[in-house]
Structure 1
C-alpha cells in the first residue's frame, strides 16, 4: 500500500469527500496554484488517510489501524457528522405529517403535565352594563384536565470500520435520510394510533362516543357528510354557540374519490368555507403505536371531520430531533450518531371532531 505524503487542505478534502460520498464526477483541483500535482482522494480509504494526517497521527500499513485512528480523531468525525446530520434533517423535512390540523406545543420535561379543557359558562356572555353599574366578571368552567407526558424516542446509526473498508457510502447518505424519516413518522403514527384506539378522556368517555353525538355509523356519502358538518357547526354550551367550522376531512385511500366528489360538489354549490382533504393510509392499513409497539387495526371505510376548535396537541421537549455523536469501541469500531426526540400527545377536546363509519 502506498501511503500519501501530501497533506490535502481541508477545503479540498471536504470537496473530495463530498464527491466520493455522493458519487459525483471528481473535479481536478491543484493543491496550489503553481503546482501540477493534484490531490488524490478517490475513496473513503483516501479520506481516512487524509484525516489521520490532519489530526497529526502517523499512518500504518494496516488499514484497520488507520480507520481506528481516524475514527478517534476530529477530522473524520467532523466530515461524517456534517453529512449525516444534513441527511437526517433532510429526511425529517421530506415527509408530511399532521402539522396542519394538530396543534404543536412545548413540554417542559418528561414529567406528566396538565392541559385544561375549558368550557363556556352562562355568565361568560357579554352583557349590557347600565350607566353607573360595574361589569361582572368573565367566567369559564374547567370541564376536564387532560394529562400529557413526554416519551423519549431514539435510535443509533453507526458507520463502522467494515462500512469504510467496503466503501459503503450509503451509510453516510441513504441510511441517515431513512433515519430522519423514521423520526418524522413518530408524530403521525402517534396521532392516528390514538384516533383509531379512541381512548377515554378525563370524563371517562371515549373521544368518539354515541353519548357525545360524534360517533357516526354511516358510510361516507353526501348525506352523512352533511350530518357531520351540521354537528360541528351547531356545538353550543350554555346557549353559547362555539362558532366552529369544519376544516379537514380525513379519509382512507379507499374513500378518496368519493371524498373529492363530495367536496367538489360542495364548492360548486357555492359553499365558501373550504374544507381541506387529507388522505391517510394508516386509517386503512392500521398503524403500529410507537409507545406500546402494538399494531392498531384500521378500516377502509373510516373517515373523520375535524373542526376549527381544539383537537389534539403534539408537544415536544426539544422542538426538533436532537443529533449527537460518539465513538463506538465495543464489539465494533465506528462513529455513531444518535437521534433522540422527546414528545407527547394529548386529546384536548371532543367537540371539534367527528368520526364516520367504523
Structure 2
C-alpha cells in the first residue's frame, strides 16, 4: 500500500463551527505529482500522478477508516464518508468518533494545530512515461485516511473548499523549468528517506523528522536500522511460528512485518510465473517478482545494499541474499505454494465420501468401531436392573511416506529462471493427490474386486455383510435394492442403523447413465414418474479408477465411519516442502514429502451393486 500526504487549510471561524460536531469537509486526493522510488526500474525516482478521471477511483472500500500516521495496529478514530469526485479531486466528510483521542484531534484541528492528512491506497492499473519519468495511476483504490504531522501536498486536506482550491491554484507562482542541482539533490534525499521509512513502517513523523534535521542519507539509514532493532526488541516474539504459504492474507494489526514482506514476495513470484493466486497479497503488485529485485530487497531489509556487491544483477548478489532470513524463505515459500496449488487443483473424487483425519505419527492407528447400546430389559416391581455392555471391534492401519527431491541450479537463479522452475512444480502436488486416490480406489480391487479383508476375516463386499446386491441393470430399481441393504444394516450387538445413502459412486463409463437417473428424479412431470425423487438427493462421484462392473452407494461419513484417509498432521493441507543442504553442487534443493494411509473401517456404510 502506498501513501501521500496533504495539508489542512481552514479559516478560524469555520474550524470552530466544525469542532462541536467533529465533522470536517476534506479533500482526500488530487492529481498533484508525488515523487516515488520505482523498484521495478532499479530504484529510479519518478513522479506518480493519481488520475481522477471517471472510473479511475475505486470507492468499493468506502467509507474509509481514519487512522493516525497509518498505524494499523490501533483502532481507527473516525471515518471519511460521502466520498465523491469533484473535478480533479476526491472529496468527502471527515467524521471523528466519541473516543477521548478523537475529541482531542477534533480540538487540535479546530485550533489549527493539526494540519496534515495522508491517504493510503493501492494501484491496480497504471501507464508509464519513461521519458518524462512519470507514472499515472489509471485505476486505484483508497484504503484509509491518516492524520499526520507533515504535509507534502498543500492543495488538498481537511476543510478544503472548492473556492479555496481555486484560490490556491491562481495564487501559486509559476515555476522555473530549470531546477537547481542542490534542490534536486535535496528532493532525492527526502524521497529516499521517506521511501525507506515507509518500507520499514516507522511512521511518517519519523521520516519527516529526519528530513527536517537535514540528516544525510547514510546516517538516515543507520538511524532507521537502529529504530527497527529497538522495535523488534520491544515487540513480543514467537519462537515457534510456522509460515503457512498456502494462504496469503492482507496485512492485519499485529502482523509480523518480516513475514508480511515474505508473503507479498511469494505472491509476486507466483503471479509472475503464471500460477493463479486466489487472494494475492495487497503488496504483491508493488514487487516485480524478479529474483534480483527480491534479493536486493532482502539485503536492504537487513541494512545492506546490493550495489556494494558488484553488479546489480549477478552471482554475487544472489550469494549474499542467500544468507539473509528473507530470501531463502521466499524461495521455499514459492515452491511450497506452487506444489500446493497443484494439490488443490487436482480432481479428487475420494475426498467427497472418505473422511480425512490427521494422525500424529507412523505407529499403527487403532480405530474402535462401537456397536449399538444394549437393548433395554423389562424390570418388574422391586426387580433388579441387569448389566448391559457395548460391543466393539477394532480396525487398524498405518500411514506411508511418499516423496521426491527437486532442485534448481545456481545458473537458473542467476539467469532469473525461477518462474520456469515454479511452473513445473504444481505437478508434484497433483501427483500427491493422485497417490491418495490410487491408494483409496486400489482397495476396491483387492480379493478379486470383493474389497479388502476386514477385521472379521471376510472381504468388504460379501453376502455375510449384507452389502452386496444381486447383479442387475443400472436403473432406479437397482439403486432401490442398494438403498434397502443400506437401511437394514445393524450395529454390533443389534439395532438398525437406519443409514441414508448420500453418495452414488460410479466408474466413468456409467457417468452419463447416472446423470440421466439423477436428472429424471428432479423433473416434475404430469405423467407417472419412473425414477423416485430420493435419487435426486444423491451426490454423484465419478471415478475412472473403478472397474466398469459395479456401482456403489455410500452413507455420509458423519453417520458411520466407512473409509478413512489418515494424513500426518503436517500433510493435512498438502505435501510439505523442506530445504536440503547440498555443499558439493551449486544447486538449491528441496524435499517434497507426503505421508498418508487409507483404510475401510466398517462395511456397513457402503453397498456394492454389480451391474450388467
Residue 130 to residue 173, structure 1, CA distance change in 2 (3 Å): farther
Tell me if the contact between 1:312 and 1:349 (Cα under 8 Å) persists in the aligned partners.
yes
Task: Tell me the secondary structure at the aligned position of residue 278 of structure 1.
Answer: strand
Aligned with residue 507 of structure 2, among 248, 252, 269: 252
Report the equivalent of 1:343: 596
Aligned with residue 566 of structure 2, among 297, 315, 321: 315
- Structure 1: distance between partners of 2:268 and 2:323: 23
Aligned with residue 44 of structure 1, among 291, 294, 298: 291
Residue 236 to residue 350, structure 1, CA distance change in 2 (3 Å): same
Question: How far off its partner does 1:154 sit?
Answer: 2.6
Report Cα offsets for 1:213-266 as digits up to 9, x if no partner: 433433522332222111111223565212111111011222112112223344
- Structure 2: distance between partners of 1:339 and 1:146: 30
Report the equivalent of 2:329: 78
Tell me if the contact between 1:108 and 1:317 (Cα under 8 Å) persists in the aligned partners.
yes
Residue 133 to residue 172, structure 1, CA distance change in 2 (3 Å): farther
| TM-score between the two structures when normalised by the length of structure 1 | 0.74
In the alignment, structure 1 residue 206 sits paired with structure 2 residue 459:
yes
Aligned with residue 358 of structure 2, among 106, 113, 129: 106
Aligned with residue 338 of structure 2, among 63, 87, 90: 87
Question: How far off its partner does 1:175 sit?
Answer: 3.0
Residue 170 to residue 194, structure 1, CA distance change in 2 (3 Å): farther
Give the aligned length: 322
- Structure 2: distance between partners of 1:119 and 1:235: 12
Report the equivalent of 1:279: 542
Tell me if the contact between 1:21 and 1:169 (Cα under 8 Å) persists in the aligned partners.
no
Tell me if the contact between 1:94 and 1:181 (Cα under 8 Å) persists in the aligned partners.
yes
Tell me if the contact between 1:163 and 1:171 (Cα under 8 Å) persists in the aligned partners.
no
Report Cα offsets for 1:172-204 as digits up to 9, x if no partner: 542343333333334323211222332211222
Aligned with residue 177 of structure 1, among 413, 426, 430: 426
Residues 295-310 of structure 1: pairs in structure 2 closer than 5 A: 299-308=547-556, 309-310=560-561
Task: Tell me the secondary structure at the aligned position of residue 306 of structure 1.
Answer: strand
Tell me if the contact between 2:265 and 2:330 (Cα under 8 Å) persists in the aligned partners.
no
Residue 226 to residue 333, structure 1, CA distance change in 2 (3 Å): same
| TM-score between the two structures when normalised by the length of structure 2 | 0.46
- Structure 2: distance between partners of 1:78 and 1:153: 23
Tell me if the contact between 2:268 and 2:287 (Cα under 8 Å) persists in the aligned partners.
no
In the alignment, structure 1 residue 67 sits paired with structure 2 residue 322:
no
Report the equivalent of 1:221: 475
Report the equivalent of 2:122: none
Q: Per chain length, whose mean CA-contact separation is higher, i.e. which structure has more relative contact order (CA < 8 Å, sep 6+)?
A: 1
Report the equivalent of 1:296: none
- Structure 2: distance between partners of 1:322 and 1:40: 26
Task: Tell me the secondary structure at the aligned position of residue 356 of structure 1.
Answer: strand
- RMSD of aligned C-alpha atoms? 3.7
Task: Tell me the secondary structure at the aligned position of residue 484 of structure 2.
Answer: helix
**Radius of gyration: which is bigger?**
2
Residue 52 to residue 203, structure 1, CA distance change in 2 (3 Å): same
Task: Tell me the secondary structure at the aligned position of residue 363 of structure 2.
Answer: coil
Report Cα offsets for 1:102-154 as digits up to 9, x if no partner: 12333232011322233347xx1234555655544442223x42221121223
Question: How far off its partner does 1:273 sit?
Answer: 7.9
Tell me if the contact between 1:83 and 1:172 (Cα under 8 Å) persists in the aligned partners.
no
Report the equivalent of 1:148: 397
Task: Tell me the secondary structure at the aligned position of residue 610 of structure 2.
Answer: coil
Question: How far off its partner does 1:95 sit?
Answer: 3.7
Aligned with residue 487 of structure 2, among 230, 233, 254: 233
Name structure 2 gaps, 5 residues minimum.
Answer: 1-41, 45-191, 201-260, 274-285, 524-531
- Structure 2: distance between partners of 1:251 and 1:229: 15
- Structure 2: distance between partners of 1:205 and 1:340: 34
Tell me if the contact between 1:105 and 1:313 (Cα under 8 Å) persists in the aligned partners.
yes
Tell me if the contact between 2:508 and 2:544 (Cα under 8 Å) persists in the aligned partners.
yes
- Structure 1: distance between partners of 2:562 and 2:343: 24
Residue 103 to residue 131, structure 1, CA distance change in 2 (3 Å): farther
Residue 329 to residue 224, structure 1, CA distance change in 2 (3 Å): same
Question: How far off its partner does 1:82 sit?
Answer: 3.2
Tell me if the contact between 2:298 and 2:326 (Cα under 8 Å) persists in the aligned partners.
yes
Tell me if the contact between 2:266 and 2:333 (Cα under 8 Å) persists in the aligned partners.
no
- Structure 2: distance between partners of 1:99 and 1:134: 49
Question: How far off its partner does 1:79 sit?
Answer: 2.4
Residue 208 to residue 330, structure 1, CA distance change in 2 (3 Å): farther
Report the equivalent of 2:414: 165
Report Cα offsets for 1:10-50 as digits up to 9, x if no partner: 959977886566339xxxxxxxxxxxxxx996843454455
